[in-house]
Amino acid sequence: MKAVLSIIGIVLLILSFPVGVLTPFIPVGLPMAILGLVLIGRNSRYGKGMILSTARRHPRVRQLYLKRLRPVLLR
């Protein structure tokens, strides 16, 4: 089940970029990307490690991680 949810997260993350470009006035791509990241982070050790290492390297991503993603990922 975790593998299926991780794959769904990857697909959502990949699809969020073209959807975001095609719908610039309606922000649909950003919630898709965040949902994909949450699914990957909760169901994959490697994905969670990538999110944490990116949050450590980049201050803006770290702020987003601490405020929004951390409570969701650590449930």
pTM of structure: 0.73
Section 22-41 average pLDDT = 87
Say yes or no to pLDDT of 68 above 70: yes
> Cα dihedral angle (13, 74, 66, 4), rounded to 10 degrees?
0
Supply the pLDDT for residue 74. 63
**CB atoms closer than 10 angstroms to residue 19:** 17
Joined together, the tokens standing for residue 21 give 């470009």
Say yes or no to pLDDT of 45 above 70: yes
Predicted confidence band of residue 7 (pLDDT cuts 50, 70, 90): very high
> Cα dihedral angle (49, 54, 55, 56), rounded to 10 degrees?
90
Query: What is residue 44's three-state secondary structure?
Result: coil
